[in-house]
Amino acid sequence: MAKAVDLSVPSSNSKIRVHTGLFINNEFVPSVDNPDPINVFNPSTEEFLCAVAAASERDVDIAVAAARKAFRETWGKNVSGFERSRLINKLADLIERDKQTLAELECLNNGKPVKIARDFDISDSVGCLRYYAGWADKILGQSIEIDHKAKIAITHPEPIGVCGQIIPWNYPIQMWAWKVAPALAVGCTIVMKPSEITPLTALKLSELVKEAGFPPGVINTIPSLGPVGGASLAAHKGIDKVAFTGSTITGRKVFEAAATSNLKKVSLELGGKSPHLIFESANIEQAANWAALGILYNTGQDCTAGSRLYVQDTIYDKFVPILAAKAKELVIGNGFDERSGGGPVVSKTQYDRVWSYIESGKKEGANVLIGGEKRSEPGYWVDATIFTDVRSDMKIVKEEIFGPVLSVGKFHTEQEAIDLANDTTYGLAAGLHSTDQAQCHRVSSALEAGTV
Residues that bind other proteins (CB under 8 A): 81-82, 85, 89, 127, 130-131, 133-138, 140, 148, 152, 437-438, 441-442, 445
In whole angstroms, the minimum distance from the beta carbon of 445 to other proteins comes to 8
In whole angstroms, the minimum distance from the beta carbon of 186 to other proteins comes to 14
HSE value, Cβ hemisphere, 13 Å, CA-based, for 333: 9
Distance in angstroms (rounded) separating the CA atoms of residues 43 and 47: 7
Distance in angstroms (rounded) separating the CA atoms of residues 452 and 176: 24
- Reported residue count of the chain is 452
In whole angstroms, the minimum distance from the beta carbon of 146 to other proteins comes to 13
Distance in angstroms (rounded) separating the CA atoms of residues 38 and 103: 21
* C-beta of 138 vs 237, nearer to other proteins: 138
CA 325 to chain centre: 28
Distance in angstroms (rounded) separating the CA atoms of residues 216 and 88: 15
Active site residues: 269
Closest to 270 measured CA to CA, from 429, 112, 405, 162: 429
Which helix (H) or strand (E) covers residue 283, if one does?
A: none
Amino acid at 376: S
* C-beta of 89 vs 360, nearer to other proteins: 89
Question: 226: which DSSP letter?
Answer: I
* C-beta of 186 vs 405, nearer to other proteins: 186
In whole angstroms, the minimum distance from the beta carbon of 89 to other proteins comes to 7
Contact 396, 364 (CB under 8 A): yes
In whole angstroms, the minimum distance from the beta carbon of 86 to other proteins comes to 8
Distance in angstroms (rounded) separating the CA atoms of residues 274 and 428: 7
* C-beta of 46 vs 96, nearer to other proteins: 96
* C-beta of 134 vs 157, nearer to other proteins: 134
Cα–Cα distances (Å) from 244 to 168, 241, 247, in that order, read 8, 10, 9
Amino acid at 42: N
In whole angstroms, the minimum distance from the beta carbon of 133 to other proteins comes to 7
Q: What are phi and psi of 276, to 5 degrees?
A: -130, 120
* C-beta of 263 vs 438, nearer to other proteins: 438
* C-beta of 14 vs 80, nearer to other proteins: 80
Closest to 90 measured CA to CA, from 216, 209, 215: 209
Distance in angstroms (rounded) separating the CA atoms of residues 190 and 212: 16
* C-beta of 10 vs 127, nearer to other proteins: 127
Distance in angstroms (rounded) separating the CA atoms of residues 236 and 64: 9
In whole angstroms, the minimum distance from the beta carbon of 90 to other proteins comes to 12
Q: What is the Cα gyration radius of the chain? A: 23
| Cβ-proximal residues to 110 (8 Å cutoff; 6+ apart), any chain | 43, 117, 169, 170, 172, 198, 343, 346
Amino acid at 138: K
In whole angstroms, the minimum distance from the beta carbon of 442 to other proteins comes to 7
Strand-pair category, 143-147 with 367-370: unpaired
